[in-house]
Copies of this chain bind each other. A is one copy, B any other.
Amino acid sequence: MTRQKIEIKKIDNISARQVTFSKRRRGLFKKAHELSTLCDAEIALMVFSNTGKLFDYSSSSMQQVIQRHNLHSQELGLSEHPSIELQLELSNQTMLSKELAEKTRELRQLKGEELQEMTIKDLQKLEKLLVGGITRVSQAKNFQEDRVLKDISSLKRKEVQLMEENWRLKQAQHLTPENGHSSECITIVCSSLADIPQDYDTSDTSLKLGLPFPD
């Protein structure tokens, strides 16, 4: 709808999709609000991102609008059909189960545990997916590792500075011995050391920075 017209179909590029999602979501919510204000309408809007995150808007109360919707669509609100809710839940559950089974299968295939039935074409698709995944994972890992290395060198620099400072203070103390300020300096050193990321596992022997395929 700008720079270039786009086709209305699922956006393949992941980050582009996320950006578009938050932009358009905001736009949609704004429009919904405007409509409810301008025309005195009662509106409820629910949006689930593909990551499962919920965003909702309601001109009044969400529950109120849903109740009203239920009244309209069927007579669900009262217990005409005592088990209609149950039926709903059941069908819902069936669906959930199916989805779960599907995801489980996909997961197993990605892990290479269920490849017998697959065609060459499917395998090629899978391979592409995995290569994409590994590329992104490696990038993320490198990024984190870089961050840790930077943290370390920054801490080392701090350490040197503090030691120098400490030394200077000690010298000063020698010249005019008053109170024990040296303990304060040690405190500073300790608190800055606590900033080291906890998740950096030093027991891992190799810190590979490149792609996992050396040749």
> Chain A interface (Cβ within 8 Å of chain B)?
6, 8-11, 14, 17-18, 20-21, 24-25, 27-28, 31-35, 37-52, 54, 56, 62-70, 72-73, 75-79, 82-83, 85-86, 88-90, 92-93, 95-97, 99-101, 103-108, 110-116, 118-124, 126-127, 129-138, 140-141, 144-145, 148, 199-201, 204, 211-213, 215
A86-B86, A86-B89, A121-B199 as given contacts; A104 in contact with B31, CB under 8 Å: no
Chain B residues, CB < 8 A from A10: 37-40
Once bound together, how far apart are the Cα atoms of A86 and B88, in whole Å?
10
Interchain CA distance A14-B107 in the complex, whole Å: 14
Whether B112 and A135, one on each chain, are in contact in the complex, defined by CB atoms closer than 8 angstroms, is yes
Given contacts A121-B201, A144-B119, A200-B120, contact A69 B46 (CB under 8 A): yes
A124-B204, A137-B123 given; A43·B41 CB < 8 A: no
In the bound complex, do residue A20 and residue B49 qualify as a contact, i.e. CB atoms below 8 Å apart?
A: no
